Amino acid sequence: MEADFVIVGAGSAGCAMAYRLGEAGAKVLVVEFGGSDAGPFIQMPAALSYPMNMGLYDWGFQTEPEPHLGGRVLATPRGKVIGGSSSINGMVFVRGHAKDFDHWDAAGASGWAYKDVLPYFKRMETWHGGRSDYRGTDGPLHVTRGPRSNPLFHAFVEAGQQAGYPVTQDYNGQQQEGFGPMEMTVYKGRRWSAANAYLKPAKKRFGVGVVRALARRVVIEEGRAVGVEIERGGKIEVIRARREVVLAASSINSPKLLMLSGIGAGRHLAEQGIPVVADRPGVGANLQDHLELYLQMAASQPVSLYKYWNLWGKALIGAQWLFTGKGLGASNQFESAGFIRSDAGVEYPDIQYHFLPIAVRYDGKAAAEGHGFQAHVGPMRSTSRGAVTLRNADPKAAPVIRFNYMSQDSDWRDFRQCIRLTREIFGQEAFKPFVRHEIQPGADLQSDDELDGFIREHVESAYHPCGTCRMGAADDPMAVVDPQARVIGVDRLRVADSSIFPRITNGNLNGPSIMVGEKVSDLLLGRDPLPPEELAPVLSQDWGRAQR
């Protein structure tokens, strides 16, 4: 039970690191509490609403009652399975905007500007969209697009154009702003999770080992991480690390593990009876997420996927997928996207759209109206911040999760703007043949107060938690890791997952999380980072004066 590197968490970043470290000849052990990702619920893209609602694959975390949402408790799914959250997510692939990473660099995460991370985004992917200086061609992660055969996908992009927004052929390339095709981590009809892309090949080719166990804490001797204490089969053991320990256990479990190991806010650890190894008040702080609403429209003709939303329809789709790997089962059905700016003076997009040709909720419940479609919409850069703290010193206890959602006046203003801009898009000529009426929020809700009531009751997490082990300058008292992802105050211990994001990126977080694993693997190996690539993004020329 010893390796050069011990990685806690077989999720998006952990799988990428395991592959790259194993490829370099290091002995790697990955500790993962969850089990196998085999079976159609995970591997069939269209079944995405199942695994994130199954205790077998999900940690089952929940927030504390959220004070600004009327005391609602929101689900916080995190993958408890090989592949982590990349095995239970919606498979949407978004890198984030170039300016997001420039912000990281300016905020103290030097070496993480867009020019620095672009080579890693390229190294990690095989893009199936043609040739582009911005895209990779031979990485482990396959990035594809759906067939977009439903006319609603084209109506959405056309309506965006009619409303005065640009069209973008590749929001992960030169220009994020605009409407266009959405990308997904699906390959040959299967979910292309970090487990399929990285971990399974790493086990087969490089002998990377996976230990199924609960990580209890990092073992630290004389200020240095020497291993990980685990529990399996009722026994407590230690896996020793000859070189380094890396936490890649999610933005919920990585700070929890640091605190259980004595790294965190000294007062909070003392309250739990945990001896303080490093007093780092930033551990668990800076918690961020994306919230979203579904704006649902009833359809005037039977073009949506609702006709399959019954036992017989689902069985047909499942059978076709099982035998051929094709059909509706081979797509996550998020095949058109939009990124827009909420106002003049906003430099780059701060609103994201996922379009879906059915009116349905994440828990799989369809709208009572029958045929319909919806846009998931939400602001990208809320200034609300929350925290993850320990409930007690028991490694098996779920942590206390408080996002503090909608705690800023700007959050409410931004969401009202999201609703009004989306209504305008659905009101365009392109949707005239398809729209019967607005299901949700409902056309009678118009005033700020009415919209605020709807937001308070219906806003949902997009499941993008991050930021709880913030990366920053080594002398920043609230930073948890330095720009090499090393935990400040403890030797031979790093964190590499979405918890190190200084600020949340534009869009879904699986892509940037894998990028973190790729980049940190080079740091762990002591290699020079890949040479920077000076490719600038396209920004709206008129952003200072116009919203579109």
Predicted model pTM: 0.98
Domain shared by 419 and 520, yes or no: no
CB atoms within 10 A of CB 297: 26
Domain shared by 283 and 316, yes or no: no
- Rounded CA-CA distance 351/92 in Å is 16
Which helix H or strand E contains 436, and what residues bound it? strand 435-440
Closest CA to 13 of 85, 74, 75, 63: 85
- Rounded CA-CA distance 328/313 in Å is 11
Domain shared by 367 and 494, yes or no: no
Domain shared by 246 and 319, yes or no: no
In a domain, 66, yes or no: yes
CB atoms within 10 A of CB 509: 27
How many domains does one find in the chain?
Answer: 2
Q: How many alpha carbons fall within 13 Å on the CB side of residue 269? A: 23
Residues assigned a catalytic role: 464
Tell me the binding residues: 81, 89-92
CB 19 within 8 A of CB 208: yes
In a domain, 217, yes or no: yes
In a domain, 475, yes or no: yes
Closest CA to 250 of 74, 468, 425: 468
**In this structure, what DSSP letter does residue 480 have?**
S
* pLDDT tens digits in sequence order for the chain, 548 residues long: 899 999 999 999 999 999 999 999 999 999 999 999 998 999 999 999 899 889 999 999 999 999 999 999 999 999 999 999 999 999 999 999 999 999 999 999 999 999 999 999 999 999 999 999 999 999 999 999 999 999 999 999 999 999 999 999 999 999 999 999 999 999 999 999 999 999 999 999 999 999 999 999 999 999 999 999 999 999 999 999 999 999 999 999 999 999 999 999 999 999 999 999 999 999 999 999 999 999 999 999 999 999 998 999 999 999 999 999 999 999 999 999 999 999 999 999 999 999 999 998 766 677 768 899 999 999 999 999 999 999 999 999 999 999 999 999 999 999 999 999 999 999 999 999 999 999 999 999 999 999 999 999 999 999 999 999 999 999 999 999 999 999 999 999 999 999 999 999 999 999 999 999 999 999 999 999 999 999 999 999 999 999 99
- Rounded CA-CA distance 99/97 in Å is 5
Closest CA to 339 of 328, 354, 360: 354
Domain shared by 54 and 157, yes or no: no
- Rounded CA-CA distance 114/100 in Å is 8
Domain shared by 253 and 362, yes or no: no
Which domain-ending residue is among 437, 458, 479? 458
DSSP reduced 3-state for 355 = strand
| DSSP symbols for 168-182 | -S-TTTT--SEEEE-
In a domain, 343, yes or no: yes
- Rounded CA-CA distance 123/100 in Å is 19
- Rounded CA-CA distance 471/473 in Å is 7
Judge if the upstream peptide bond of residue 465 is cis by omega within 30 degrees of 0: no
In a domain, 303, yes or no: yes
Domain shared by 367 and 419, yes or no: yes
CB 143 within 8 A of CB 125: yes
Closest CA to 48 of 18, 85, 11: 85
pLDDT at 20: 98
The two structure tokens encoding residue 149: 């055969």
In a domain, 384, yes or no: no
Tell me the binding residues for FAD: 81, 89-92
**In this structure, what DSSP letter does residue 373 have?**
E
pLDDT at 389: 98
Q: Which residues pair with 452 in a beta bridge?
A: none
Domain shared by 195 and 154, yes or no: no
- Residues spanned by the domain of 15: 1-140+186-287+389-399+465-529
Q: Which residues pair with 268 in a beta bridge?
A: none
Domain shared by 451 and 369, yes or no: yes
CB 93 within 8 A of CB 143: yes
Q: Tokens 């200084």 identify what position? A: 502
pLDDT at 365: 73
pLDDT at 430: 98
- Rounded CA-CA distance 42/381 in Å is 30
Q: Domain with 125 in it: what CATH number?
A: 3.50.50.60
In a domain, 540, yes or no: no
- Rounded CA-CA distance 295/310 in Å is 23
Domain shared by 295 and 360, yes or no: yes
Domain shared by 271 and 395, yes or no: yes
Domain shared by 216 and 90, yes or no: yes
Alpha helices in 304-380 (DSSP H): 311-324
Q: Domain with 436 in it: what CATH number?
A: 3.30.410.40
Closest CA to 15 of 77, 85, 120: 85
Sign of CA dihedral 101, 102, 105, 110: positive
Which domain-ending residue is among 442, 458, 474? 458
CB 267 within 8 A of CB 30: no
In a domain, 544, yes or no: no
CB 426 within 8 A of CB 295: yes
